[in-house]
Amino acid sequence: MSKAKIWAESYFQRLDSIIEELKKHPLIDHLSYIRFKGISDEEITAIEAGLSEEVYSNMDQGSEVPSFKFDAYMKAFYNISNGLNIAWDSHIVQSSLDDSRVITDADQDDFAVANNDLLQAEGFLSLLPLKNLISYADLDIYGDPRETRLGREMSNSGRHFTYLDFYNFYYDTCIALDPKGNTQNNFLYSGEDHSACYNDYKVSDFVIYMENLLANYFSVFLRSNAFYDTDAVAAFRDNDYEDIAKKIASENQYASIDDVLKYHVQDEELLEKFGDLDFLQEKSEAIYEKIKELLDVTLEDEL
């Protein structure tokens, strides 16, 4: 079995453990986890060809035909699940999540993005199905990252720049694909200022990004930790990401769900934006006691 397939299988095993931990944690209020049916290598090859054809059809006459490719690790991941949806909230920060569900073999009809500014969650991932890297017209996404400064620069250089993980125009992540099929030049960029611009000083790639999100329990407010300077990305890629989970864990300040929740409750900007004393006062005394017991935080002191 290839290193890429070993990594992908290991990732989903560790992800299952994280989901179980979230399901059982007394401070987690809602959890939605939707894993989709995987796609074959042949389907991925067809999507790569379709993407190249679509981009070429919009290029100037005489332009070189692009040949976009996804790296082996990204392919191995999508072999298992063609996209991924995760959303959770806690009893600490008010959100608009109102139900919990776990689906492990879903059809694409169940795919969702955070499509309005009122939908908030503490943990969120909306990893687009692979075909939607060609076009996301059938999803409830109405922006276009190619219209940003970085997007225009990418297009002018022949690269394909599009959404990979979409959350509400606050914390979206885009992927830039190399037109010559050199997957070492495929990088991820984080959206800023409601996706009006993208940070090109720090980048990521598929494996590094997904490992960091897993390490931080998919916290929306910690996903910036998944982006590094290019030298750090190159170091992670050495020896095909050998021991990447251990390397990320060794630098991670938030190694448990309790650490993540404590960060959420002690982040003044987050509480100012999402905290609601009336919402918290409706909670039972048992919730306050659990916050004190597990997080060593007296909630009234934070609000």
Q: How far apart are CA 91 and CA 93, in angstroms?
A: 6
Statement: residue 301 has pLDDT above 60: no
Other Cβ atoms closer than 10 A to 131:
19
Q: For a pLDDT cut of 90, what percent of the chain falls above it?
A: 51
- Token pair belonging to 219: 């916290």
- pLDDT at position 285, please? 73
What is the distance between the alpha carbons of residues 281 and 250, in angstroms, rounded to a whole number?
37
Question: Does the pLDDT at position 185 exceed 80?
Answer: yes
Is the separation of the CB atoms in 114 and 167 below 8 Å?
yes
What are 275's two structure tokens? Answer: 């905290």
Residues contacting 63, CB < 8 A, separation 6+:
56, 158
Q: Virtual CA dihedral for 190, 191, 193, 197, nearest 10 degrees? A: 100
pLDDT digits (tens, 9 = 90+) for 104-145: 888 877 777 765 554 678 899 999 999 999 998 888 887 888
The DSSP call for residue 63 is P
User: 150-176, pLDDT tens digit by residue?
Assistant: 888 998 888 999 999 987 656 789 999
Under DSSP, is residue 271 helix (H, G, I), strand (E, B) or coil? helix
Sheet holding 173-177, edge to edge: 101-106, 28-36, 84-90, 123-127, 160-165, 173-177, 187-192, 197-204
What percent of the chain is modeled with pLDDT above 70? 86
Instruction: Provide mean pLDDT across the span 209-230.
Output: 94
Average pLDDT, the chain: 86
The pLDDT value recorded for residue 98 is 82
Task: Of 58, 69, 170, 174, give the one whose Cα is nearest residue 114.
Answer: 170
